[in-house]
A and B are shown apart, each in its own frame.
Chain A
Amino acid sequence: MTELRELARRLLSEGTVNAVLGWEEGPRGARPAFVTDAAGADRLIFDPRCVHNLAAYLSPRRPHLKQLGKVAIVLKPCDAKAVAGLIRETQVPRENVVLIGVRCGGVLADPESTEPLSEATVADRCRGCPDREAKLADHLVGTAGPGFPGPSHRAQKVEELAALPADQRWAFWQAEFEKCVRCHACRQVCPMCFCERCLADKTMPRWIESSPHNRGNFAWHVARAMHLAGRCVDCGECERVCPEGLPLGLLTRKVAQVVADRYDFRPTDDPAVPAPVGTYRMDDPQEFIL
């Protein structure tokens, strides 16, 4: 933590950046911090409660963050994949941001948790995560724990669902979509939902009905999962934010598996790897096409 604070203080006092995005102690556990002066660097923390994917704040969809000027951002290895995604898709110029990597051996599921990090309390996405540091980072600080073995519960649930008959899967999702109130919080917190104007907000034509009945909800969750194909870094923020508790990570996880199996693409912090949707190979499998 001292290392992180000293680095942030140096970047701010030397004028390399105008602000450092990291985590601080909030009223309810860890939360995002926006440090704009060297003195404030002591507010920065990093511990297993720092679950938030701060890459979302780099998305060009947040014009109010331009007031900060040039920023440095503190990243876990998984968050770096989202930043790489934004760079890959030309949403963030690499030279505009300083990346501070924190070495990570897993985070908690809940930023408010007071439990120690353990097999029982670790965030699901950390199960089986092989990454301890972000290769994309300009600076690396801290030390990493050993990590946690996989597979993730989410991956197991995807398999369980996939093994059910179609009508039971339909019933499962209809019951889940029934809860959705279409606040679109899942979209707002997603670092990879960077469209200036979302398909769901367009009315001419209205592809996705805004009403939170299952017809509108089905269209919304299909569109969201499709648009995140090859983009989702499985950070789980959509699921964490959902005020109604929908298991949204199952959809993005399923799509990520399809993309991995068919196009050999896995989320990576290398922005030079092309996005799987938007590129193609002439010999892509097409066994489903007559």
Chain B
Amino acid sequence: MSTTTFIRNEDLKGLVADLKAAGVGVAGPARTTDGAVDYRSIDRFEDVVLDAQPRTSLKQFFLPPTEPLFKYRREGSDVAILEMPAVQPPRVIVGARPCDAAAVEILDRVMNWDYKDEPWFARREATTIVAFACPGGDRSCFCTTVGLAPDSTRGSDLLLAPAGDGYVVEVVTPKGQKLLDAFPKRFGAGPGVDATKAYRDKARASVDGHVPGSPEVIRQWVQTHFEDPFWSEIALRCHGCGGCAAVCPTCHCFDIVDEPETLTEGTRRRNWDTCQTALFTVHASGHNPRHDQCGRCRQRVNHKFAIYPSRFNEVLCTGCGRCARVCPAGQDVTEILTRIVAMATGQGGAA
């Protein structure tokens, strides 16, 4: 689908107002109380901040940090299971970054692999993602290395790119078309995609070449260097804080816990988890197969660039660079990948 249309800045404000009036939840990148930008519920488009990458990704809208799966209640010798709602309220995300939209689509693979994750897809179905072509990134961005781009449409329902007094709207999915059809007065004739070329080219130039090489080169080296001293070396500075996983758009591991609330009632919840902590792999016996940070640092790279590709034919990374920005110890994914590429192509070894 490659229909395009146009929305004026004023109509964008109006569209958000229309959605709110129709009872649709709207979220977008906006300032938080501590001055950062994060995806959050918004009341009006004026609050959307487009020139800074949101601190955390979109995944929280589909895989919340904690969510109840069901509640249980003991009744005599039986247990009653109380289900959570199977349908989620409608929501539109306005101002998603293309890398964050793509991440959600990448995660659809694992969420519908051996089992269809019902809460995930209930939220997916209820949510329309309106992405805005990225204005460009900093030195930690490398989306073009992993097959994406500042203006890629993957995972978006609509992709907007600025031109004139508004945005050229690319209709990516039928769900995006449905949004257009619901508010036809807000969209109209305007400049075509060509008018956004300079903007897109500039954005691409700002992220290109930060990680040379290809995901395939990285995958092959990672798969064949499980015991390489490189992993111990990069682990030195790692605190195992898991900040990288918290802000990562594609890290999706979770833990399931039963939380008793009274003697007879409780909730089964699923919560975010991360391979960067010792607890992630510790066995009931106390033995921990990933006994120190070396194995945990390797796991994060391994899962993203070797394990996921071998199962789903694509890397579990969108090149958003958040892990490098959040790391309190200056661990940088672009540096790690660049060194792997260098080692793989015979141009360097472990320092």
Q: Hey, which bits of chain A sit against chain B, CB under 8 A?
A: 26-32, 34, 52, 56, 62-65, 67-68, 111, 175, 179, 181-185, 188-189, 201, 209-213, 216, 237, 240-245, 247
Contacts and interface: CB of A to CB of B under 8 A. Distances in A.
Interface stretch (B74-82, B151-159, B288-296, B312-320): B288-296
Contact of A241 (B241, B245, B277): B241
Most buried by A among B34, B55, B247, B325: B34
Given A31-B330, A64-B236, 12 more contacts: A27-B335, A52-B329, A111-B330, A179-B32, A181-B272, A183-B241, A183-B242, A188-B240, A211-B257, A240-B328, A243-B55, A245-B36
Which 10 residue pairs across A and B have the least CB separation, nearest first? A31-B330, A185-B241, A188-B241, A64-B292, A26-B330, A241-B328, A245-B34, A181-B65, A27-B332, A183-B246
B324 interface: yes
Interface string B287-308: 0000111100000000000000
Contacts of A179: 32
Give the contact-size bracket for chain B.
35 or more
Interface string B51-83: 000011000000001100000000000000000
Contacts of B325: 28
A64 B66 contact: no
* Residue of A29, A31, A32, A188 ringed by the most chain B CB atoms within 10 A: A188
B65 A245 contact: no
B277 to A, nearest CB: 7
Q: Which of A62, A211, A247 has the most CB of B within 10 A?
A: A211
Contacts of A63: 291-292
A30 B36 CA distance: 22
A32 B237 CA distance: 6
B278 to A, nearest CB: 8
Contact of B328 (A34, A182, A189, A247): A189
Interface of B: 32-34, 36, 55-56, 65-66, 139-140, 232, 235-237, 239-243, 245-247, 255, 257, 259, 269, 271-272, 274, 277-279, 291-294, 324-326, 328-332, 334-335
A19 B34 CA distance: 38
A183 B33 CA distance: 20
B329 A32 contact: yes
17 contacts: A27-B140, A27-B330, A27-B335, A52-B328, A56-B239, A64-B235, A179-B32, A181-B272, A182-B65, A182-B271, A189-B329, A209-B259, A216-B66, A243-B326, A244-B56, A244-B246, A247-B34
